[in-house]
Structure 1
């Protein structure tokens, strides 16, 4: 005869620290401050917060309306004694579904349970027939959390209005931008195609507009308005005045701190070296393959300049120099004034450039957050200039060179800045 195996399955309702806290608050709540009508209206509007769905809201309203109005007075106890089968009949769901929804309402703190030994629900009455206690579904936690939940509903309504307003503005700006491409005259075909691709890239980044945040829609709208101004040849304007860097008295001021040296060349002819177009790789149009020659080739530079660049710390690049080298950042509506802002924008810039999260994480692990942000900005700028056809591969190649100490971001930044000045000068 074999040994009997004890049933190790736990008996009773599952108790979590959160459920225990809700039960404690329900027992210590004073009834009488909130009426049943107020709770019923609150239960119907909780769906806008995302806390519960429509079916759970329907069940909660049925529970509130089941308890008599006097149960919410000072001398009352709002406990519901109906079975799951009866509640299922009233709301048109199965008993199993009602049981799962009650567990969900317990988890989010909208009801608590006072269980009996056999899970039966019944009231306890005194000699005069008044209910003094009972085992069932306790609604006192709703009274305790009424002010908190009502504030959530008000906040959700305000956010919904902001999103609706931003959504209407975004859709109008997107329609205007697409019509402006068709109506634009006198611009080269390559420019029109570039702007068209940028608009489509922007819509892909926003995704489903009704599900986007108001901040995302607002930034996309600002960028679309700027693209329309460019198509209509309206003089360039500032995308976001609040994000524009203030006037600095010292050209070498970075992050509100004066940095003594911001150029990697300390000789008398350093300006010539910094502005030299040879500071970038000579085979720009083929740089999209992200091979070894896609970056700066130190062997083709003078020996003294190569040694100077190798010994130069990577963080010597000023943020203002990076913004001058990568004007695409401003075109997308971003003008960071601190390195911390640029590092926070790096995931968004990767999405614009088509760089995967894995490639960005590997770059951060190899270079650090600041240098990875500089590398992403360079990649985005070269992608926008059609010099790089595989942004993800380009960044991975930069990461590999950084791991071996052969990556010199300073020269890339100064070379891009010099070329931008030469192209924009008359």
Structure 2
């Protein structure tokens, strides 16, 4: 207990209970060998997680600059002590004396630095061969940064994850909203009425506005979850209202003469014969472009070939490609959108199938339409169909890729789909030069 006549002398630092508690906690932790560059990076990356302001973070980095790399070796007799004066800090940050003292006290109470005062109140460092370096260093002891280095690293990793997750969720809101708008457009073109459609569109628009430019995952995650629910609800409503009708009348309204006139010439037969066992080749001359894309050769007579041209295609068609050999490398070059999802220029068919599923999200094709095409066409042929739709979308010939996929499914079930002619036309475009497909 202090006597009645005691008065605090001028120049003596005021020690608060928070500073005493922080010193006790910090000195109980073991020292670690750290790099100064890691301290700079982790402090700046994780400052929001650590509860540091920008001024406090930059002040700590400034104090670290007054130390040497050898001070952070983790040895007990060598401590990182900064000898920066208050006047140096005032001039560096353009702050007043009182503000500097408050910042230093806040950092000491938070346990990020310790005060080591010399007998004469000055901050200095003195070393000799007989005395440990730490015994002759007075100023700001930054050893708590080394003792709490794991907390710094964890905070920096958490902040980086939040930043990346926030950007991903921000993009996902845009993707989901566009998918919902595309579903409504497809439903309108197919003549399907979605229950409470106006309210759903208004709510989707409100969620996008609510997102704004925010990048906080805590704010964006509920918005994405609600948009996912709306997306699933719209797909269920469309499937329930119309059962995704496959009638040719509805299909023709969506096609807009895109698939009714395939890219191959209508006057040319479906398959080209030069010899009895010849292959119709579409070779691209440029290096790094598609391999030879071959149509399956057929050993039919000319009379049977002419009969096949005059007779209608049977409804029970088993091969959507009708013998066209669409190799994975060919698919990559007619649909460059697939490239970002493949590990090489010669992917396997499984990679093409996976890439087609990812490409559907960019094209605005719903998972329901993808699953329906997979059930009707098969795994790899469905991926080739998606690639053909992507190629024609890039050319500006398709307004609704999802509607076109459903229409192609309907035409295939009706025995009217000539996908081989479309693929042959795309192969001829590749043959004309590497500049056709970018």
Judge same fold: TM > 0.5, yes or no.
no
| Bigger Rg, structure 1 or 2 | 2
Choose between structure 1 and 2 for higher RCO, CA contacts under 8 A separated by at least 6 residues.
2
Q: TM-score range by the shorter chain?
A: 0.3 to 0.5
TM-score normalised by length of structure 2: 0.43
